[in-house]
Each structure stands twice: as structure tokens, then as C-alpha cells.
């Protein structure tokens, strides 16, 4: 068992990280932070999850969101998808393991992965709407968000959702406000089976090791840690019993990375585009300086007058 985080003290605590600890800020640059915070991570052990949705409830409660009361549409997911009011969602899939002929119930808690290389932040056009702290937390700053939805296109996991109420993007914050005062995320606090644990990224990797060894001993030969290198690793990791087939878990991408289309759009297009326009304007200016204006001459006017007059005589 991983030691649970202690309850908060009753005295005021100064936040452990702030704007001074930003390593990335959307559509802008930040000075390198003076100190590197210890990277944190949430570890979700799907093999321990019982699908109780306590994490969802805790998330709603802590973040004070008010998801609409939905309707039952025949599946376990409730609501059916992430929404601006539901930052985390238990996704359920039933899978018949062809090797054992067993029906496996694979439950995955979906939500922001807090990528080391966040696609949302790369795509964001609004300065400071998406920030990344040196402890690995990727957070949305709502007063800077313009609601364009570019983050959705940038995200390799399809996580952010735009609110129809305030037109800004929402997603899991990794409970940055709780972590800042030494607490863990609300979902981890609420999880009754320790399927969700929180600590430093190193601790989480070590804890995962033990879990993977245990799963392998119990016949899950492909058990492993999901910490995809394509996005530089994540600060939300999964222990999967079938780490060789992450797609089984409601489409968890096998090798997620920022789409090459997004890279092209935010890379070469952005720079080449402005260069092309600058050159076009410059060529125009240069042409005018060298060649000068194309003026109508008096001869042109006389020719036109003669043409109009001669035609009049012809037809007269």
C-alpha cells in the first residue's frame, strides 16, 4: 500500500508553486525558473479500479462544477463523455481475452494526462491561457482563454472541452490548487481502493514497478506502465494489465504524440506565412521605389479623345 497523503493542517500554508515556476506559457515566453520543482504524478492502476466513480464525484465536488443531470442510455459511462463540467470520466469496456476466453471488464479513468510536451499549449493562440509548471502540471488560466478550441485540436488525448456558458476551455487541473498546499488531487483522496495514488513522479514509477511485478506474477505477462514517450512522458500514468494494447482501454492511444498537422501549423506555416507576406509587401515597396508609378500620359488622353471623336465621325 502506498502511504496516503496526510490531511491538511489547520494553519495557513504558503503555496508551494506559483507563476515563478512556469516553464511554458502559451503564445508567449517565460524566463527560466530559478528552481526546478520535483515532478509530481498521478498513478492510475486500472487493475485496482472497481468503477465506483467516487473519483468523478470528488472531482465535481472539489471543482464545484454542476454537470447536468443526464439520462440513462444503456452504458456505464455517466455522463457519456467528458464535458466542461466533468473533468474526469470512468470509461468502461468489455473485452473477451482470446487467450483465456475470459470476459475482462477494463475500466479507465479518463482525463488530462498532463503531458510533458502538451499539444494543447502548443496550439493555443492566447498568451498565458495555458501554462505548465516545472512540477509537470498543465493548467488552463480562464481569464486569458478566448474559447477558440485550438487546444482540442492540439490534444492527442481529446480532453479539453469548451464551455457554452463562459466560452472558455476546461479540463482536469491535477488539482493544482490542492497540490500547491501539499495535498493530492481530490480523485486520489476519494479513491477507496488506491487505484489512484499521487506523489512525485519517481515515487509513482517505483510504486508502479511493484504493481506490475504483482500483475505479472498473476498471469498478466504484458502488464506495464503507460507513460508515453511520444509526448515526453505524462504526469498522469496508468498501470495497465495489457500495456501492449492500450487501445483496449476505451481507445487509449498506443503511441500518442502531437499531430504532425498541428506541428506543421504551429511550426513552419506560422513562420513561413509571415515571411511570405513580409516579402510580398517588401517586393511591392521595392518595385515602386525602382520603377515608380504607372501614370497615364497626356498622349494616352489625346489618343482616347481621338478614338472617341473618330468613331463619332465614322458612325455619323
Partner 1 sequence: MTAHDVEPGKVHPGKPVTVDRYTVGARINHWITAASLIVLALSGLALFHPSLFFLSGLFGGGQFTRLIHPWIGVVLFFSFFGLFIRFWKANLWKREDGTWLARIRDVLANHEENVPEVGKYNAGQKFVFWAMSVLIVILISSGLVIWDQYFSAYTTVGQQRVALLIHAIAAVAIIGVWIIHAYSALWVRGTIPAMVRGSVTGGWAWRHHRKWLRELVTKPGGRSGSKPAE
CA distance 42 to 23: 20
Residue 79, preceding peptide bond in cis (omega within 30° of 0): yes
Q: How near is the Cβ of 289 to partner 1 at its closest, in Å?
A: 11
Q: How near is the Cβ of 171 to partner 1 at its closest, in Å?
A: 14
Q: How near is the Cβ of 125 to partner 1 at its closest, in Å?
A: 5
Burial of 142 (0-12, 13-18, 19+ CB in 10 A): middle
The residues binding partner 1 (CB under 8 A) are 27-28, 125-127, 144-150, 152-153, 155, 158, 162, 164, 167, 259, 261-262, 264-265, 269-270, 273-274, 276-277, 280-281, 284, 287-288, 291-298, 300-305, 307-309, 311-312, 316
Beta bridge partners of 146: none
Scored b (16 or more CB within 10 A) or e, 58-96 reads bbbebbeeeeeeeeeeeeebbbeebbbbbbbbbbbbeee
Q: How near is the Cβ of 297 to partner 1 at its closest, in Å?
A: 7
Q: How near is the Cβ of 246 to partner 1 at its closest, in Å?
A: 18
Cell 500495456 belongs to 243
Which residue, 57 or 158, has its beta carbon nearer to partner 1?
158
Which residue, 25 or 53, has its beta carbon nearer to partner 1?
25
* 56 sits in which H/E element: helix 54-63
Which residue, 182 or 273, has its beta carbon nearer to partner 1?
273
Which residue, 181 or 285, has its beta carbon nearer to partner 1?
285
CA distance 221 to 213: 9
- Cα distances from 209 to residues 114, 136, 224, 255, 295, in angstroms, run 21, 21, 8, 21, 80
Which residue, 206 or 269, has its beta carbon nearer to partner 1?
269
Which residue, 200 or 259, has its beta carbon nearer to partner 1?
259
Q: How near is the Cβ of 138 to partner 1 at its closest, in Å?
A: 18
Query: Could you say which DSSP state residue 155 is in?
Result: -
On whether the CB atoms of residues 161 and 137 are closer than 8 A, the answer is no
Amino acid at each position: 500500500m502506498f502511504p496516503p497523503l496526510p490531511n491538511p493542517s489547520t494553519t495557513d500554508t504558503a503555496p508551494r508553486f506559483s507563476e515563478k515556476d512556469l516553464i511554458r506559457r502559451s503564445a508567449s515566453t517565460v524566463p527560466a525558473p530559478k528552481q526546478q520543482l520535483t515532478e509530481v504524478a498521478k498513478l492510475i492502476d486500472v487493475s485496482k479500479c472497481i468503477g465506483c466513480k467516487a473519483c468523478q464525484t470528488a472531482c465535481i465536488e472539489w471543482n464545484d462544477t454542476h454537470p447536468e443531470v443526464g439520462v440513462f442510455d444503456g452504458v456505464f459511462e455517466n455522463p457519456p463523455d467528458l464535458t466542461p463540467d466533468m473533468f474526469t470520466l470512468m470509461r468502461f469496456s468489455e473485452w473477451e481475452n482470446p487467450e483465456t476466453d475470459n470476459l475482462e471488464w477494463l475500466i479507465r479513468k479518463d482525463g488530462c494526462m498532463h503531458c510533458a510536451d502538451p499539444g494543447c499549449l502548443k496550439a493555443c493562440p492566447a498568451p498565458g491561457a495555458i501554462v505548465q509548471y516545472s512540477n509537470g502540471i498543465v493548467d488552463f488560466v480562464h481569464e486569458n482563454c478566448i474559447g477558440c478550441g485550438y487546444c482540442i485540436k492540439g490534444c492527442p488525448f481529446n480532453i479539453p472541452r469548451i464551455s457554452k456558458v463562459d466560452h472558455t476551455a476546461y479540463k482536469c487541473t491535477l488539482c493544482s490548487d490542492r497540490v500547491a498546499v501539499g495535498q493530492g488531487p481530490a480523485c486520489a483522496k476519494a479513491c477507496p481502493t488506491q487505484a489512484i495514488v499521487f506523489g512525485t513522479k519517481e515515487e509513482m514509477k517505483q510504486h508502479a514497478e511493484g504493481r506490475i511485478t504483482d500483475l505479472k506474477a498473476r498471469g498478466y505477462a504484458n502488464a506495464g506502465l503507460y507513460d508515453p514517450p511520444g509526448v515526453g512522458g505524462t504526469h498522469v500514468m496508468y498501470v495497465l494489465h495489457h500495456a501492449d494494447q492500450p487501445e483496449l482501454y476505451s481507445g487509449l492511444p498506443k503511441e500518442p504524440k502531437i499531430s504532425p498537422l498541428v506541428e506543421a501549423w504551429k511550426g513552419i506555416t506560422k513562420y513561413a506565412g509571415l515571411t511570405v507576406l513580409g516579402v510580398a509587401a517588401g517586393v511591392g515597396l521595392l518595385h515602386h521605389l525602382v520603377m515608380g508609378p504607372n501614370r497615364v500620359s497626356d498622349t494616352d488622353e489625346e489618343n482616347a479623345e481621338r478614338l472617341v471623336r473618330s468613331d463619332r465621325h465614322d458612325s455619323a
